[in-house]
A and B are shown apart, each in its own frame.
Chain A
Amino acid sequence: MNNLLSISLFWPELVLTATIIIAIIVDIFSVSNRTSRVSNYVIIGLLATLAAVFLTNHSPTTLFMDSLAFDPFASFVKSVVLVATLLIIIFTRYSNEFKGYHTGEYYALLCIMVFGMFLMASAIDLITVYLSIEVVSLMSFILAGYLKNNPRSNEASLKYVIYGAFSSGIMLYGLSIIFGLTGTTKFFAIRDAITTLDSSSNLALTLSTIFVLAGFGYKISAVPFHFWTPDVYEGSPTPITAYLSVAPKAAGFALMIRFFNQVFVDGDSLSTLGWYADVSFAWPEILGVISVATMTMGNLVAIQQNSVKRMLAYSSIAHAGYMLMAFPTISSEGVFAVMIYLVMYLFMNLGAFFVLIYVAQIQGGENFEHFSGLGWRMPIVGIVMTIFMFSLTGLPPTVGFIGKFYLFVAVINAGSAFYWIAFFGAINTVVSLYFYMRVVKTMYLDGKPSEEIVVPPLSITLILLVLAVPSVFFGIYWTPILNWVNDSLLFFVQI
């Protein structure tokens, strides 16, 4: 589709851009201590964007001369990102970490990041791939270091910048090799060009893919590109940590799915996917090893943490590993499972982080000892956190189990060659139980049951319920999510 026509399908992004501009303008005209009112405008803007995402209906096509795809899959990822962003904005308003900071541009930066993730979700051109990743990364660097008086936040930002620059450099190198081999930046043209390559370019192709994988791996914090994660997650303001563990990950997975499906796989329909015969390289095995290494590393290190925030940081690495389980299969079941997992993960992980934000405010810290006896003092918080912990472990009847179940379904369905991945995934679930249950144990088994009961304010209770009720409800009856994901499992494909 040409540029002019594309505008008509670019509504969500346009609304989002308007939101960004409004946020900046409102911020300029606000008294400096009342900048949080920017968030009101941003929330309205993002809701409008969400509406635009749902209302912009068209059969799958490409925008702006084949640089972006417009398809249900992109809309799905956009919705997930938007919901996460809305929740994070609400979290931020309840967080006391930002006291004394000017938060006006915080919301604007968040929206720019959303814009970047929108592009990531629909990029089908190497240039847009790189640009979108950079937009998201740059905004993440700033947001991670937003608490400029806090040295840890500064450290987080700096580490993030260094790792980010490093991996995007590697990725750019990989992209340029692909361009050199194929002479084009468009995914579909690359796919066609690869089929005509002779075997002498196998090495270059393999190397370039590994380099690109480094860029994706950095975004979704897969081992061995995860080293930035714990420090950045720990140093960043907690709402941003929660955000980084969900939204950019969703976008990163979307980009990765699209890249592998449309460049390396005979992409006309998802059901007949198989790895390209010409690329005689053990991709499924490599991705499988990365997946297992990621979840194992995340879980084993999470066991040793004393800070709940850091534990959740490592746990989010482990969850990226779980989602990667479905990748080696490169089947529509695999993509389906990852999409379901993203939705489920959104609820449970953001829920756990919100409890953390609230507890940190009440108890004055984010370590395990601050959770001691909490289940008795604040029954609602205790029960809700228990639900999230069970869900993150993957026990029924919670969403975590359903998400994991579909991942296992995808892996087992792919045949006995992949069973070892499922086996490691299962063992890792058991390992993860230990540290998730440690939170529950600290809340209920440690400390004295107190007589006084603290009831959180209604608004906090409401947010907790908004996250906890779906965590259980969709664990028992998840057909609505199933239908949504089913309808969204449609890529733009050029034959």
Chain B
Amino acid sequence: MYNILSWIIWIPVLGMVAIAFIPREKQDLIKRAAAVTTGLQLLVAIVLWSTFDATNGSFQFMERAEWIPSLGISYILGVDGLSLPMVALNALIAFIGVFVSWNIDRAVKGYFALFLLLDTGIMGVFLSLDFFLFYVFWEVMLLPMYFLIGMWGGPQREYAAIKFFLYTLFGSVLMLIALLALYFACGETFDMQLMMERAPFALDGVVWWGMSAIKVIWVLLFIGFAIKVPVFPFHTWLPLAHVEAPTAISVVLAGILLKLGVYGMLRINYTMLPDAVWWFAGTLALLGMINVIWGAMCALAQKDLKKMVAYSSINHMGYLLLGMAAVIAGGSANGSNLMAAQAGINGAVFQMFNHGTISAMLFILVGVIYEQAHHRDIEGFGGLASQMPIYTAIVALAFFAGLGLPGLSGFVSEAMCLIGAFPVFRTIVIISTIGILLNAAYFLWAFQRMFFGKLNQKYTKLVDINNRELFTVIPLLVITIFLGIYPRPFLDMIKETMNILIDQVAVVGGIAGIF
């Protein structure tokens, strides 16, 4: 397993270079090269998953190399229970994404080259343990994303692409300032592990313009990450980007990119500024509640199926924020309710993974119907159940997973988030449960309008989901059902790391107290 993490990150770049040498006319070859590349990456990720030591919560498979010593920048990679599921998810989604993109016919070479670059950027963010490297990867993602939305997207693609870019860059530059402030506070190192050790003490009692430095840095980082999640009120780029992006990019966007924000918060905000978690948890829970309700209400109002699914992502991210806020239940101030903290934070990470598979599935399914009907107007369909029985069955399962039906993975993680948050944020959780109801309402209502009733005569020529499309959906569906019935294998993988996190934030962080 020599340098396995580097391989995972850089395999797509190798594929990109290979694609650059394929003549642009050989479209099939380009697509196959992309499939082989991501398939290889998936294999390595599976090897990583199976050799990962779940009993050890700290970083494994560490790699370390000097980069710019004079600035304390190194090339450090490592994986733990938090990043492992994300790496696996990304490898899977990227592999599926290539097949979802199979019908791309315009500038194929550019498309797949950028797709692979995006893959590398995302993997890099999840695996880097050097803050500078993390930031570089974080920014590298923006370029391919801009082009993928802007060049292969829908009618409003230019606006959507630049809005996405401006929003995310705004977040990143705030993050850059916070990064540098942390850098100097922690004795001029970008090594995240050192920063995690030093930051809580180095910043203790530091005051800038009458505000605690910890809070200022937290807010800067939080805005940077919240834009990616997206947390209300930074969410307005998301529906637009989703609707305009080509299907495969929506899949990556919903499946992985949204997780980066949450990952950043857990990896950086939580570990480097544990005291501020206590200060911010209430707001975080409140924002989670707004996300849940707001996302569900917006989804309910949508006529465009893809937009509805996009808003459902905002809704799902809300539960996740609630689960994240629940970590403070483990502190002595809240009666050291470790069970609740564990449920919340494990649920949040589990929700990250589940939302990745479920929303990816939903977007693929939206793409399937759009490709044939050339519109996504929910009202414009009707009675599709008789025309496309297999598609209908799969959409039904996916919608059920989306609305959190017991027995499917989404239910488990959402329930864990809510259970975890309940002891600390009782009212907020109770209000949030309204969101579950609304959630069911928009999914079922959309299902009813699209699939039941009389078949629209325009659509008698629609054919059922084809094998390629089935191939992209089935793995996700299997994972959703399996984890819904038996989530243990997943939770065991992340448990130890989450315990360390809870210890850092709730138990140790709680004592210093920032109130």
Q: Are A437 and B146 in contact (CB under 8 A)?
A: yes
Q: Are A479 and B68 in contact (CB under 8 A)?
A: yes
Which of A430-463 touch B at CB < 8 Å? 430, 433-434, 437, 441, 444-445, 449
Residues of A within 8 A of B143 (CB): 390, 395
Closest partner residue, chain B, to A376 (CB atom) = B107
Q: Indicate which residue in A423, A444, A482 contacts B68 across the interface (CB closer than 8 Å).
A: A482
Q: Indicate which residue in A395, A427, A441, A482 contacts B162 across the interface (CB closer than 8 Å).
A: A441
The reply on B11 being an interface residue by CB < 8 A is no
State the CA gap A192–B157 with chains docked (Å): 63
Q: Are A423 and B177 in contact (CB under 8 A)?
A: yes
Which of A372-412 touch B at CB < 8 Å? 376, 390, 395-397, 401, 405, 408-409, 412
Q: Are B184 and A441 in contact (CB under 8 A)?
A: no
Most buried by A among B142, B147, B176: B176
The reply on A75 being an interface residue by CB < 8 A is no
Q: Are A434 and B140 in contact (CB under 8 A)?
A: no
Closest partner residue, chain A, to B158 (CB atom) = A445
A98 to chain B, nearest CB (A): 36
User: Interface readout for B191-216 with A: 1 if CB under 8 Å, 0 if not?
Assistant: 00000000000000000110001000
Q: Indicate which residue in B147, B151, B158, B169 contacts A429 across the interface (CB closer than 8 Å).
A: B169
Residues of B within 8 A of A482 (CB): 68, 70
The reply on B47 being an interface residue by CB < 8 A is no
Closest partner residue, chain B, to A411 (CB atom) = B180
The reply on B173 being an interface residue by CB < 8 A is yes
Q: Indicate which residue in A401, A449, A477 contacts B139 across the interface (CB closer than 8 Å).
A: A401
User: Interface readout for A204-229 with B: 1 if CB under 8 Å, 0 if not?
Assistant: 00000000000000000000000000
Which of B131-186 touch A at CB < 8 Å? 135-136, 139-140, 142-143, 146-147, 150-151, 157-158, 161-162, 165-166, 169-170, 173-174, 176-177, 180-181, 183-184
Q: Are B142 and A395 in contact (CB under 8 A)?
A: yes
Closest partner residue, chain A, to B178 (CB atom) = A412
Q: Are A441 and B158 in contact (CB under 8 A)?
A: yes
State the CA gap A395–B166 with chains docked (Å): 12
Contact (A426, B147) CB under 8 Å given A408-B180, A412-B184: no
Q: Interface size bucket, A side?
A: 20 to 34
Q: Are B177 and A419 in contact (CB under 8 A)?
A: yes
Residues of A within 8 A of B70 (CB): 479, 482, 486
The reply on B468 being an interface residue by CB < 8 A is no
B173 to chain A, nearest CB (A): 4
The reply on B106 being an interface residue by CB < 8 A is yes
Closest partner residue, chain B, to A433 (CB atom) = B169
Interface of A (DSSP majority class): helix
The reply on A16 being an interface residue by CB < 8 A is no
The reply on A201 being an interface residue by CB < 8 A is no
Interface of B (DSSP majority class): helix
The reply on A416 being an interface residue by CB < 8 A is yes
Q: Are B184 and A413 in contact (CB under 8 A)?
A: yes
Most buried by A among B135, B136, B161: B136
State the CA gap A401–B139 with chains docked (Å): 10
State the CA gap A396–B184 with chains docked (Å): 21
Residues of A within 8 A of B184 (CB): 412-413
Contact (A437, B165) CB under 8 Å given A395-B142, A426-B176, A426-B177: yes
Which of B203-250 touch A at CB < 8 Å? 208-209, 213
A203 to chain B, nearest CB (A): 31
Q: Are B139 and A427 in contact (CB under 8 A)?
A: no
Q: Are A412 and B165 in contact (CB under 8 A)?
A: no
Contact (A422, B136) CB under 8 Å given A433-B165, A445-B158: no
Q: Indicate which residue in A397, A413, A430 contacts B140 across the interface (CB closer than 8 Å).
A: A397
Q: Are B136 and A396 in contact (CB under 8 A)?
A: yes
State the CA gap A427–B147 with chains docked (Å): 23
A382 to chain B, nearest CB (A): 10
State the CA gap A395–B162 with chains docked (Å): 15
User: Interface readout for B279-322 with A: 1 if CB under 8 Å, 0 if not?
Assistant: 00000000000000000000000000000000000000000000
Residues of A within 8 A of B166 (CB): 430, 433-434
Residues of A within 8 A of B209 (CB): 416
User: Interface readout for A464-484 with B: 1 if CB under 8 Å, 0 if not?
Assistant: 000000000000011100100
Q: Are A445 and B173 in contact (CB under 8 A)?
A: no
Residues of A within 8 A of B146 (CB): 437
A315 to chain B, nearest CB (A): 16
State the CA gap A433–B165 with chains docked (Å): 8
State the CA gap A478–B70 with chains docked (Å): 11
Residues of A within 8 A of B135 (CB): 396
State the CA gap A444–B148 with chains docked (Å): 11
Residues of B within 8 A of A423 (CB): 177
Contact (A437, B68) CB under 8 Å given A395-B139, A396-B135, A426-B174: no
Residues of A within 8 A of B151 (CB): 444-445
Q: Indicate which residue in B71, B106, B139, B165 contacts A396 across the interface (CB closer than 8 Å).
A: B139
User: Interface readout for B98-111 with A: 1 if CB under 8 Å, 0 if not?
Assistant: 00000000110000
State the CA gap A433–B184 with chains docked (Å): 27
Q: Are A426 and B139 in contact (CB under 8 A)?
A: no
Most buried by A among B135, B142, B162: B162
A97 to chain B, nearest CB (A): 32
Q: Are A426 and B158 in contact (CB under 8 A)?
A: no
Closest partner residue, chain A, to B67 (CB atom) = A477
A430 to chain B, nearest CB (A): 5
B361 to chain A, nearest CB (A): 30
Residues of A within 8 A of B150 (CB): 441, 444-445
User: Interface readout for B333-351 with A: 1 if CB under 8 Å, 0 if not?
Assistant: 0000000000000000000
Q: Indicate which residue in B136, B140, B180 contacts A409 across the interface (CB closer than 8 Å).
A: B180
B287 to chain A, nearest CB (A): 23
Q: Are A449 and B106 in contact (CB under 8 A)?
A: yes
B348 to chain A, nearest CB (A): 29
B138 to chain A, nearest CB (A): 9
Residues of B within 8 A of A397 (CB): 136, 140
Contact (A419, B162) CB under 8 Å given A390-B143, A401-B139: no
Q: Are B162 and A434 in contact (CB under 8 A)?
A: yes
> Could you list 25 examples of A-B contacts with CB < 8 Å?
A376-B107, A395-B139, A396-B135, A405-B176, A408-B176, A409-B71, A412-B177, A412-B180, A412-B183, A413-B180, A419-B181, A419-B208, A423-B177, A426-B176, A426-B177, A427-B173, A433-B165, A434-B166, A437-B146, A441-B162, A445-B151, A477-B67, A482-B68, A482-B70, A486-B70
Q: A478-B68, A486-B70 are in contact. List 5 more A-B contacts (CB 8 A).
A: A396-B139, A427-B173, A429-B173, A430-B173, A434-B166
- Top 5 A-B pairs, shortest CB-CB distance: A426-B173, A412-B180, A416-B208, A396-B136, A430-B170
Please list the residues of chain A having a beta carbon within 8 angstroms of any beta carbon in chain B. Answer: 376, 390, 395-397, 401, 405, 408-409, 412-413, 416, 419, 422-423, 426-427, 429-430, 433-434, 437, 441, 444-445, 449, 477-479, 482, 486
